[in-house]
Amino acid sequence: MVIDCHNHVGEPWGTRDRQTPDELLRKMDRAGIDMAVIFGFKYENYDNEYTYKAVKAHPDRFIGFARIAPWLHRNYSEVLENDIEKYEFRGIKIHAAANSFAMTSLAVLRPIFDVAEKRKIPVIAYSGDEVCATAVSFRYIADEYPKVPIIMAHSGFMHQTPEAIMVAKECGNVYLEHASDTTGAYTSSLQELGADRIIMGTDTPYWDYEVQLKKIEVTILNKEDREKFMGRNMANLLKIDTAQ
């Protein structure tokens, strides 16, 4: 089973960024993607209900994650938990660079990670070369919440892949997702971290499945390693039975 852990759906106003569930399904079918983790775009007019409706219409293809921007709600942990309960979300998506906080802002992050720990669900978080979301900055929240799986989206966004690998080696709850990364990053992660904590993510609609799949094809030659990367690791995190 091929599971991609990084996809956006929604039609947010004030931007050209959009991707409807039907558009995403067509891309998945064309590329042979069985399931996709979906959540709203980075803008603060994200719509968790939109994500839920997409999952409700296609529960065999979509896995919903709740999006949360802390400064939108005084009681954002309560809002987050209510959305997870109401919409049956199986993970959380955060984006420090887009939503005005830092991955070192533990006072901001704790209410989110408390929910994730209580619910036993993963958090996928943007990482890049912005000072608020560098790969190294993940180590503090990872250390404080060792039971919460943290998916480092983009794994430092090319420039900071070595630091992303270093943090993942030090923190056993950090998983690396290489959307928009180089084939060299895939190879380095596999060699230094192993296949059990690297996860396929594409970041649609910004990137294409076919490109990600080609990178995997030319860099991860071992069949078992490739199966872990392309779906088994994510299925284990989300407790999805891949035998069905």
In a domain, 244, yes or no: no
Question: Degrees (nearest 5) of the Cα angle 18, 148, 139?
Answer: 90
Instruction: Please indicate, yes or no, if residue 71 is contained in any of the structural domains.
Output: yes
- At 74 the three-state DSSP class reads coil
Identify the pLDDT of residue 205: 97
Please check whether residue 7 lies inside any domain of the structure: yes
Number of domain units in the chain: 1
The per-residue pLDDT for 116 is 98
Bigger pLDDT: 42 or 157?
42
Residue 110's pLDDT is: 98
What is the pLDDT averaged over residues 51-69? Answer: 98
Phi-psi sector, 192: left (phi>0), alpha (psi -120 to 50), beta: alpha
Q: For 86-135, what is each residue's pLDDT tens digit?
A: 999 999 999 999 999 999 999 999 999 999 999 999 999 999 989 999 99
How confident is the model over 49-61, as a mean pLDDT? Answer: 98
pLDDT at residue 158, as a whole number:
78
Could you tell me which residue, 244 or 145, shows the higher pLDDT? 145
Quick check: bond before 205 cis, omega within 30? yes
What is the pLDDT at residue 127? Answer: 96
Q: Tokens 């400064």: give the residue.
A: 71
- The pLDDT tens digits for 20-39 are 999 999 999 999 999 999 99
pLDDT for position 157: 86
CB 12 within 8 A of CB 40: yes
Indicate whether 243 belongs to any domain.
Answer: no
- The pLDDT of residue 181: 84
Tell me which residue range forms the domain holding 49. 3-238
Supply the pLDDT for residue 120. Answer: 98
- Over residues 221-241, the pLDDT tens digits come to 999 999 999 999 999 999 998
* CATH number reported for the structural domain that contains residue 172 in this entry: 3.20.20.140
Q: If we measure between CA atoms, which residue out of 45, 169, 162, 70 comes closest to residue 123?
A: 70
Nearest to 4 by CA among 157, 195, 210, 202: 202
Average pLDDT, the chain: 96
Mean pLDDT of 38-56: 97
pLDDT of res. 23 = 98
Gap between the Cα atoms of 189 and 169, Å rounded: 10
- 3-class SS at 124? strand
The per-residue DSSP string of 156-217 comes to GTTTTHHHHHHHHHH-TTEEEE-TT--HHHHHHHHHHH-GGGEE----BTTS-HHHHHHHHH
Q: Work out the pLDDT band at 243, boundaries 50, 70, 90.
A: low
Q: Which tokens sit at 194?
A: 């192993």
pLDDT of residue 111: 98
